[in-house]
Amino acid sequence: MAITTWLALLLTHPLEFRTLLQFYLYHEQKRDIKALKEHPTSGWDRASMRRCWEFLDMTSRSFSAVIKELDGDLARTIALFYLVLRGLDTVEDDMTIPDAVKQPILRSFHVHTVTPGWKFDGCGPNEKDRQLLVEYDTVVEEVNLLLPHYKNVIIDITLKMETGMADYAHKAATTGTIYLDTVAEYDLYCHYVAGLVGEGLSRIFAASGKEVASLGSQLELSNSMGLLLQKTNIIRDFREDADEKRFFWPKEIWGAYGFNEMSEMHKTDPDTMQRASWAQSGMIVDALRHAVDSLDYLRLLKNQSVFNFCAIPATMAIATLELCFMNKEMFQRNIKIRKADAAKLIMRSTNPREVGLIFRDYARRIHAKAVPSDPNFLKIGIACGKIEQWCEHSYPSFIQILPESGRQELDPNDPRTRVVQGEQNLEAALARKRKLNGITNGKAPAQLELTQTSMSELAMYVGAAFALVMALAGGIVYAVMKYSD
């Protein structure tokens, strides 16, 4: 950020200035892929991989930062996985490529990805990621250097994804239908473009050995994680997609509010704006149904770098959904969460409990903005309530964690504390009763006493007995000596 930007932020948003300053000063970079010691796993010593890292920066700065901090060879593997799918997505999105040309490229992309020297320069001049495909042979070279268990996952996911993308692109080109009709069709499309990414990532994490092998088979949770992120982007990018004649919102949702075309929703007359807000809330309700599954997925992760990689986009997504909810500006321009909010989320997204609390806080904000006149009012309440319920079930609020020591403490003002203390007192009373009765697992009272005697008590008794024996022996010796005299 420029000095003038910092000064303007200090004068207009001093709290945000403080947050960003803390982030830049204290947020520690976990890994430097350019460092000499990282070259064996990051591939920075090869010109082809350095170019791939440059492409990653050009195509997605937000994902680039978290990918680079992954442990070991995961960073390079997932960077290449991302570039392969970005190349595939670029071909699918480019409306200037005729369907007759697009179809064979899409349906063979998994083959092209391992074919040395393959590249494509047929994208339109305005396609932002055109250069990636022009130099795609660089990506191919690096993919072929991956370990087989990584390479096989990338090729398998590319094959599945390209099939779905090609089917949807062909339908749009041959039937003239530019809309997804039902929510089920919308779910399937998002599965192809994002749910499969979640599956691929889970399989790569498992194959690396940094996560348990069973993570690779968590297909439903992986799919939900991908759908939450994809649907959030589709909601937020409404205006950009509409201007490019790309329409991903299902007609089942927006058509219920009297619209014949999606492009009608960015009109500024009061009636249109209100109906567009109802459609918007319907889309957000649909996205929120993946929130709990995403939280469950995050609880399965054990490696800190993998957790950060998955958790940061998830918290950004819930914050973006809150920003979009009941925000009419979304239909007029692209909106994003403020940099200070993003920095705060990055610093907080370090463990499942904290991420759950972030989801809960933003769900409460969404619920607070809901209005009874919204046809989705009850659905919004239920969706937000499920997030609240998940947090309370997983991390009960009456169990407090002291920030200084990390020790758990029960809130004395919460009625549930008295219940827990009552149960603990009952357990202690029962233990005393079992001890008195001498009946535990068939042991006699004497055996019970011996079992429950601590090692320190036993040592004390043995020492006392030894001292007594020595005293008696000493007395006997003294008596014998006196008698002999």
Contact 296, 393 (CB under 8 A): no
CA distance 425 to 285: 45
CATH topology of domain 38-177: Farnesyl Diphosphate Synthase (1.10.600)
Q: What pLDDT does residue 85 have?
A: 95
pLDDT digits (tens, 9 = 90+) for 162-221: 999 999 888 888 877 778 899 999 999 999 999 999 999 999 999 999 999 999 999 999
Whether 206 contacts 242, CB under 8 Å: no
pLDDT at 380: 96
- 58: how many CB neighbours lie within 10 A of its CB? 14
Question: Where is average pLDDT lowest: 2-11, 43-52, 186-195, 292-301?
Answer: 2-11
Give the range among 145-159, 241-255, 348-362, 416-430 with minimum mean pLDDT.
416-430
Residues 6+ apart with CB under 8 A from 191: 164, 223, 226, 227
| Helical pair 291-300 and 304-324, crossing angle rounded to 10 deg | 170
pLDDT for position 405? 66
Q: What is the pLDDT of residue 464?
A: 64
pLDDT at 71 over 80: yes
- Asked whether the beta carbons of 281 and 326 are under 8 A apart, the reply is yes
Residues 6+ apart with CB under 8 A from 264: 272
Q: Band of the pLDDT at 151, cuts 50, 70, 90? A: very high
**What are 29-44's pLDDT values in tens digits?**
677 888 999 999 999 9
Q: Which residue in the list 76, 86, 203, 236 is annotated as catalytic? A: 236
Separation between Cα atoms, residue 451 and residue 445, nearest integer Å: 10
Is beta strand 399-401 parallel, antiparallel or unpaired with respect to 408-410?
A: antiparallel
CA-based nearest residue to 288, from 227, 220, 209: 227
Q: Contact, 207 vs 283, CB < 8 A? A: no
> Is residue 326 pLDDT above 80, yes or no?
yes
Q: Are 136 and 118 in contact (CB under 8 A)?
A: yes
In b/e form, how buried is each residue of 409-444, taking b as 16+ CB within 10 angstroms?
A: ebeeeeeeeeeeeeeeeeeeeeeeeeeeeeeeeeee
Q: What is the pLDDT of residues 354-395, one digit of tens each?
A: 999 999 999 999 999 999 999 999 999 999 999 999 999 999
Identical fold between 38-177 and 185-203+212-395? yes
194 contact partners, CB below 8 Å, separation of at least 6: 226, 227, 229, 230
Q: Taking the complete model, does pTM exceed 0.75, yes or no?
A: yes
| Euclidean distance between CA atoms 85 and 132, whole angstroms | 11
Active site annotation includes 236? yes
Can 247 be counted among the known catalytic residues?
Answer: no
pLDDT band, residue 475 (cuts 50/70/90): low
Among 165, 87, 97, 85, residue whose Cα is nearest residue 125 = 97
Residue at token pair 């392969």: 84
CA 66 to CA 308: how far, in whole Å? 7
Biggest CA-to-CA distance, the chain? 127
Is residue 481 predicted with pLDDT exceeding 90? no
The predicted structure's pLDDT at residue 484: 54
Pairwise CA distance, residues 147 & 72, whole Å = 13
Q: Which pLDDT score, from 0 to 100, does residue 186 have?
A: 95
Q: Which residue has the higher pLDDT, 446 or 186?
A: 186
Q: Is the pLDDT of residue 116 over 90?
A: yes
Topology annotation, domain 185-203+212-395: Farnesyl Diphosphate Synthase (1.10.600)
> If you average pLDDT over every residue of the chain, what do you get?
86
Q: Residue 151 and residue 114: Cα distance in Å, rounded?
A: 9
Give residue-wise pLDDT tens across range 384-424. 999 999 999 999 888 877 766 667 777 787 778 788 778 88
**What residues have CB less than 8 Å from 71, skipping those under 6 apart?**
31, 210, 303, 305, 306
Name the helix (H) or strand (E) containing 410. Answer: strand 408-410
Domain positions in the chain are 38-177, 185-203+212-395
Q: Is the pLDDT of residue 338 over 60?
A: yes
Give, in degrees to the nearest 5, the angle at Cα 363 between 361 and 367: 120
How many residues in the chain? 485
| Nearest partner of 215 among 145, 159, 153, judged by Cα | 153
| Choice among 189, 331, 359, 362 that is catalytic | 189
Q: Is the predicted pLDDT of residue 477 greater than 90, yes or no?
A: no
Active site residue 76: no
Tokens 């069973």 sit on residue: 214
The pLDDT of residue 459 = 60
Measured in degrees and rounded to the nearest 5, phi and psi for residue 299 equal: -70, -20
Q: Which tens digit of pLDDT belongs to each residue from 99-110?
A: 999 999 999 999
Retrieve residue 321's tokens.
Answer: 């959904």
Strands, E assignment, 84-205: none
Contact criterion met (CB below 8 Å) for 358 and 387: no
Cα–Cα distances (Å) from 432 to 40, 357, 471, in that order, read: 61, 40, 36
**What's the confidence (pLDDT) of residue 453?**
47
Looking up tokens 């796993």 gives 41
Weakest-pLDDT range from 2-11, 58-67, 221-230: 2-11
In three-state secondary structure terms, 237 is coil
pLDDT at residue 448 is higher than 50: no
Active site residue 309: yes
Handedness of CA 219, 224, 230, 234 (dihedral sign): positive
